[in-house]
Structure 1
Amino acid sequence: MNAVKPALNRKQVPQTGARTVWVLGAELIRAHWRVSIVLGVFVLAALTLIGRAVQLQISEQRFYVQQGGDRQQRAQIIPAHRGMIVDRNGEPLAISVPMDSVWVNPLELTKFYNELATGSVSKKVKDRDPLATLAKLLEMPPSQLQALVASNRSKQFLYVKRLIRPSVAEQIQAARLPGVGLQREYQRFYPTGDVTAPLLGFTNIDDQGQAGLEAGYNNYLAGIPGKRLILKDAHGQEVDDLGVQKAAQPGHDLVLSIDKRLQFLAYSALAQGVAEHEAESGSAVLMNVATGEVLAMASVPSFNPNNRASMVPEATRNRAMIDQFEPGSSMKPFTITAALESGRWTPASTVNTTPGWVRIGGFTIRDHRNYGVLDLRGILEKSSNVGASHIAEDIGAEALWKNMRAFGFGQMTGIGFPGEVAGRLEDWRKWSVSGTAAHSYGYGLAVTTLQLAAAYAALANHGRYIAPTLFKRTGPITETQIAPAQDADAVVNMLQAVVSPEGTAPKARITGFQIAGKTGTSRLLGSDGEYSTKNYNTVFAGIAPASDPKLVLIVVVTDPQKGSFYAGDVAAPIFHQIMAGTLRLLNIRPDALPNEPKPLTASGAPLPTANTARRGGA
């Protein structure tokens, strides 16, 4: 049997053996902790990755799905179609035509050319240099396009050319160039060109109104853009349409009171007259007496809104509502109306204008010659400043001012046109004695062509004022009785004498029709604040047919330089041409008396029976 060896205690272990054991034990312990630490690190890393994966897949899934989609999906704006502007018969005056604009993605193009430099672009793509191809299609120098992209390399969208021709857009679309795209937009087109330009105004390249009705009613016309999602490939090309997110809402149409036929007629005659007399400018307003609708509103000079490069700021003004002027003798009918309304005067009342001038408040007021004793009709027929001054002196400044104010002078018409001015009519308490006289024959105040048209329409409408409008009226009409009907009718009757052979405007006569009207020739103020002796403003205000007024037409020609400067020779023939054509186009029946004297020819040549000597102050 083997003998059992006795157990050894620590003291019995050889010294060298103990050292070895302890060393080995320490090494084992240290190795164990290193393994534990490494293992712990791996476990912690695994847990972190698992936690992050859970976070990405659950709590942040929606965010990263959206971000991933954004790398491929794009929200594309759907432009809203701008509403049309049409005349009262539905004829288009302003329409928006769909066009395409070219844009590039400089960031993507920069990446493309970097890949091209490293040779990582396929030969097929390499042979189709996007910028060189685009420059050729747009007829641009390639260097210009390259410089544009280089200077905007951090951008993802940059317009290259707006509103290109459809044929060019088709070629670009077919080329499928990387980093190049087309954006659908609209370009405004004006079929009537310069004929309606100052009234309609124009839009900018983004189809936003900048002047005229386009600016004043921009929000109504513009509509609300929509949005659709598209899918693009790695080269930025659209590969799929993911549907409309928000449909575009087109703008509303504006239906004007303007009749395109009458607008052409008014503009053509006015432009011809301004050119013939080498005048600075002109304006004309044709109005329906019964409704207050403006049937034509012309302004010269004008511009072509279809060619923005040719626009001159001075020509974009709608002078019929923005320019104000001293109306001269065209205000005398309202002085006569105030006289009748005062009860101190009747149509048969007379004024002694001898010796043809009168001194009031230190100023001398003159007629063209001594007309002697005149009744109210005679004052209008001869356009007597002296007669009007005597009336104003008798009825007083307050009565005259109230009458002018009632007819709309010195205040906005409310027509809704941007930039419309209110004219000028100071409070009567500020008038001097001579100022009261001056107001009676159209000096000391300022009016617009539209204001004058609305006031004459009120006379023609039996003293009932209707606020003028540029939009076709379909609802009830609000009328305000501003003067007794019998007084207004009496003044209209008197105004027929003005176009008689003995009046100041025989050239306004129209074959077969009774015409009531009034001339106004006023001196223009110079830069020194003094009235010029060479520069004049001419006005003719007319009503037709006088027996049953339906139309009012105001013609204003500023600073004629060739030929006569009197309104009867400058503005009256233009009135004749416009009104004669209007009466014919609207099929209005003649109302002339059988024994009426033979009228003037269309050219404005005076009749042999007409007294061709200059009469009156207007």
Structure 2
Amino acid sequence: MWTAAFLAFTSLLPAFFKLSWAGEPRVNAVTPTRGAIRLMDGTLVAVHTPQGRQYPLGPMAANVVGFLGADGGLEGLERTLNAELAQGKSQTLTLNGTIQAAAEQVLEEAVKRVEAASGSVVVMDRHTGHLLAVANWPTFDPGAWAGTVPAQWRNRAFVDEYEPGSVIKALTVAALLEENLTSPAQVYETPMRRPYAGTVINDLVPHPSVLRTWEILRYSSNVGMTRLIENVPPMTLHRAFQAFGLGLAVELPGPTANGSLAAPDRWTPLTQATMSFGQGLSVTNLQMAAAFNVIANDGVYIAPRLSPDQPRRTRRVLRPDVARTMQRLLHAVIDEGIQSRAELPGYHVGGKTGTAQVAIGGRYSSEVFTSTFAGFFPAEQPRYTVTVMVRGAKREYQGSQLAAPIFRDITAYILSMNGALPALIPPPTTHEADEVGAQSDRAAERSARASREAAGPEAGPVHGP
């Protein structure tokens, strides 16, 4: 086993050395008339020279950095930070050159292979909220922007809104665990088709007719989600989604979109059901990374940061025990479902796929899909959160077929960069997942009892079973 693991690890080294150029390009210091833009390690990505504005790394992070015109910054940070840069004030970004190069390379290769329209990747440091990579496709060379079109300039990770699909199921389940409205081992009747709220909800992946909560995630069951949320007040789920950052602005240098999350008084039983499995609301890839990082970060939301000078803003969303339960369940979802597509042998991750039809002209298309994956690694002690979104793939458009392997290949570069050894923890079994559920049930019971005692004898239960 160790020989195989060693070979798997060493096989990643050529790719790592191939990317090592990302941290090397330097430009000799000059007296600036416009401030420089640097990566976290000091590598220059935009610099003033006697020959004009230069972009030493070419297309790397171009959609974030933007470009300069005759009258000042025209796109990206060159535009939004134009006043500061024009005064000679340099800017440092949180981006890691090696991770940025890896994310861009993996995304480009995948998008071209399936002939997709666009895509983006966000890599976030679990503890600090630093954005270590923001990759977009299509992209461009900011030093030759005049020969490109505006569609290539968009920082799609920050501004493109999409319906996330089944990745949202992880947030829904986490919210219900937080409110003690379900437990990982709770059992639900889950036929493949269920009449609900005037329509019929269908599942695609064959599964048993009875599923526990964690298995609803494992089989990505829409029917199961209707069972989970049918008696939940809309305000409860809406409040949880907002706590995860959905529908809210993300304050960063440069434009960002808010996504859409309707007010709870506009929800019907059907819209609540569809939102619980990722339709009827929209997000950006940036928002999804920050939301999923709550699970990786033991329940604490950290606002994404593109500059180390940005203040660190946090809020608690989930109890630590709920977040850690979700970490284990999402690890089981991968290992029991799409292990080879989402993780390398010996390296464990947690995450969830999503596939959603794209609304075109007011109707859901049967041909255009978004393929998504949101996850974190290492599963046993998360350090990175990674989200992937690809739109309009002509083949292999399922999240498990397209987005999950992109996540896997990016983690391969990062593991190689860090010299990470394979974990010795075996994948969780169904029995172990059941025990997680039993532990969560006991913890929820203790929490509810403590809340009742603190509230006094007349207050009654805080939450129902």
TM-score bracket, shorter-length normalisation: 0.7 to 0.9
Cα-to-partner distance string for 1:441-482 (whole Å, 9 max, x where unaligned): 00010000000000111111111011101012597x442111
Change (3 A) 1:202 1:376: same
The reply to whether residue 521 of structure 1 matches residue 355 of structure 2 is: yes
Q: Distance in 2 between matches of 1:594 and 1:426?
A: 42
Match of 2:81 in 1: 217
Match of 1:200 in 2: 65
For the Cα contact (< 8 Å) 2:32–2:48, is it kept in 1?
no
Q: Provide the C-alpha distance between the structure 1 equivalents of 2:366 and 2:250, rounded to a whole number of angstroms.
A: 32
Where does residue 335 of structure 1 map in the other structure? 172
State the AA in 1 paired with 2:48: S
Superposed CA offset, 1:241-283 (max 9, x none): xxxxxxxxxx111110001111110000000000001000000
Inter-partner Cα distance in structure 2 for 1:586 and 1:316: 31
Q: 1:565 to 1:547 in 2, by over 3 A?
A: same
**Which whole-Å CA distance do the structure 1 matches of 2:320 and 2:427 have between them?**
28
Note the residue ranges of structure 2 that are not aligned, 5 or more in a row. Answer: 1-30, 430-465
Deviation at residue 363 of structure 1 after TM alignment? 1.8
- What is the rounded CA distance, in whole Å, between the counterparts of 1:447 and 1:595 in structure 2? 31
Listed as ranges, the matches of 1:207-606 within 5 Å are 208-223=72-87, 251-354=88-191, 356-368=192-204, 369-418=206-255, 420-472=256-308, 477-500=312-335, 502-504=336-338, 506-527=340-361, 529-562=362-395, 564-594=396-426
Q: Show structure 1 runs of 5+ residues with no match.
A: 1-78, 100-186, 224-250, 598-618
SS in 2 for 1:543: strand
Q: Following the alignment from structure 1 to structure 2, what is the Cα–Cα distance between the partners of residues 440 and 259? A: 34
**2: distance between equivalents of 1:344 and 1:515?**
26
Q: Aligned equivalents of 1:280 and 1:594: distance in 2? A: 38
Note if contact 2:211-2:224 (Cα within 8 Å) is conserved in structure 1. yes
Match for 2:216: what amino acid? I
2 CA distance for matches of 1:310 and 1:592? Answer: 51
Task: Output the TM-score relative to the length of structure 2.
Answer: 0.83
TM-aligned CA deviation for residue 395 of structure 1: 2.0
Structure 2 residue identity aligned to 1:367: D
Alignment match, 2:48: 96
Letter paired with 1:591: A
Question: Counterpart of 1:542 in 2: which secondary structure?
Answer: strand
SS for the counterpart of 1:395 is coil
* Offset at residue 588 of structure 1 (A): 4.2
Q: CA deviation at 1:205?
A: 2.6
Q: Deviations over 1:472-513 (max 9, x none)?
A: 2597x442111111111111110112222x414640112322
User: Alpha carbons of 1:415 and 1:588: their partners in 2 closer, same or farther (altered >3 Å)?
Assistant: farther
> For the structure 1 residues 371 and 533, does the alpha-carbon distance in structure 2 shift closer, same or farther, using more than 3 Å as the test?
farther
Give the Å deviation of 1:515.
Answer: 0.5
SS across alignment from 2:143: coil
2:353/2:372 contact within 8 Å kept: yes
In the superposition, relative to structure 1, how do residues 549 and 595 fare at CA in structure 2: closer, same or farther (>3 Å)? closer
SS of residue in 2 equivalent to 1:491 = helix
The match for 1:191 is 56
Tell me, in whole angstroms, the C-alpha distance in 2 between the residues paired with 1:194 and 1:389: 45
Q: Percent identity?
A: 35
* 1:505–1:566 distance in 2 versus 1, CA, 3 Å: farther
SS of the counterpart of 2:306?
A: coil
* Structure 2 Cα separation of the partners of residues 372 and 85 of structure 1: 56
- 1:181-201: per-residue Cα shift (whole Å, max 9, x none)? xxxxxx211122222111111
User: 8 Å contact 1:415–1:467 — kept in the other structure?
Assistant: no
Against the structure 1 CA distance between its residues 594 and 444, is the aligned structure 2 distance closer, same or farther, given a 3 Å change threshold? closer
The residue type equivalent to 1:192 in the other structure is: L
Q: Deviations over 1:139-158 (max 9, x none)?
A: xxxxxxxxxxxxxxxxxxxx
Give the residue type in structure 1 aligned to 2:167.
Answer: S
Query: By how many angstroms is 1:580 displaced?
Result: 1.2
Alpha-carbon shift at residue 428 of structure 1 (Å): 1.0
- Aligned residue runs from structure 1 range 35-184, under 5 A: 81-99=33-51
C-alpha distance in 2 between matches for 1:460 and 1:294: 15
Q: Contact 1:382 / 1:504 at 8 angstroms: preserved in 2? A: no
Q: Distance in 2 between matches of 1:588 and 1:258?
A: 20
Equivalenced residue count is 398
Equivalent residue of 1:96, what SS?
strand
Distance 1:192 1:392 in 2: 49
Offset from partner CA, 1:1-28 (integer Å, 9 cap, x none): xxxxxxxxxxxxxxxxxxxxxxxxxxxx
Give the C-alpha shift of residue 592 in structure 1.
4.4
1:330-351 deviations in Å (ceiling 9; x for gaps): 0001110121122121111121
The CA RMSD over aligned residues, in Å, is: 1.8
Q: Residue 535 of structure 1 aligns to which amino acid in structure 2?
A: V
Q: Distance in 2 between matches of 1:560 and 1:270?
A: 12
Quote the residue 1:151 is aligned against.
none
Per-residue CA distance 1:83-122 (angstroms, 9 max, x = gap) = 11110100111111113xxxxxxxxxxxxxxxxxxxxxxx
* CA distance in structure 2 between the partners assigned to 1:371 and 1:413 by the alignment: 40
Higher RCO (CA-CA < 8 Å; seq separation 6+): 2
